[in-house]
Structure 1
Amino acid sequence: MKKLVAEFIGTAVLVLFGCGAAVLGGDAIGQTGIAFAFGLAIVAMAYCIGPISGCHINPAVSLGVFVAGRMPAGEMLRYWVAQFSGGLVGAFVLAIIAGSTASLGQNGWGPGYLGEYALPAALVFEVVFTAIFVIVINSVVLDGPLSL
């Protein structure tokens, strides 16, 4: 249960700090400031909850750990529930702070979004860069490079 509570809190903090930086200070701090907010939230949570749960705080990371054979499917699904729940709570708290009419920092694709990329381009980007992210996490946390 400690692991699930840790993942819940970690994901809530990540959403609150990262998306909060985008929503509340995005114009003032820009993309670099938003990236730092996400990065610092992850580092803070790695120190706080890493020893408890491994600080996945992202369902893709939990999937990568599962694929690497370091987590059973049932535990991965429980992590996902904790992570999705934590993300929703983080977004809810941010909505209260920012006001119910504010955008919560979500990304998108197509007309009206930065770059106006088509859905196939957005999907390819998401899949490729998430795979790179998970490979890096597994390489750092597990047995070395490409330990999948």
Structure 2
Amino acid sequence: MAVNLTDPSDEEECKLAEAALACYQSGQLTPLIKEELKYKIQAKRMEQGKGELHVQFTAPNSFELTKEEALKSERRRQQNRVAARKFRKRQLKFAVNLDEMLQTLEAENSRLHAEVGRLSMEKNFWQEKLNKFLLSTIDGHLES
């Protein structure tokens, strides 16, 4: 169906076609959903015998910044850049410190695991000695 975008009698179809085009260009369904919602509201108003609702949106006026405002804005932008640079530097330093701490803790963990293994072997050695001593003591008492 070809829609004549200049024909005022096809105003609704024109708006719908424009919304569909906006959806296609932006990749979002919002313009089409808005138009459909407007049509549903208008249809409901007409059913209830109310008049057609006309809403006109005018874009707010844009004002030129004064030289002082432009300078202030540029200064603020520059300060923000510096602050962002400092933040990224601090973040990197923090990450490096975390990495160093991780390596230190992993080394400590390995050392402690080795010590646990050594102490476990030492405990087993002394446990065996104690068991042999107790057996020899019991055997000595039983023989006498």
Q: Which has the higher contact order (CA 8 A, sep 6+)?
A: 1
- Give TM-score, length-normalised by structure 1: 0.20
- Give TM-score, length-normalised by structure 2: 0.21
**Bigger radius of gyration among the two:** 2
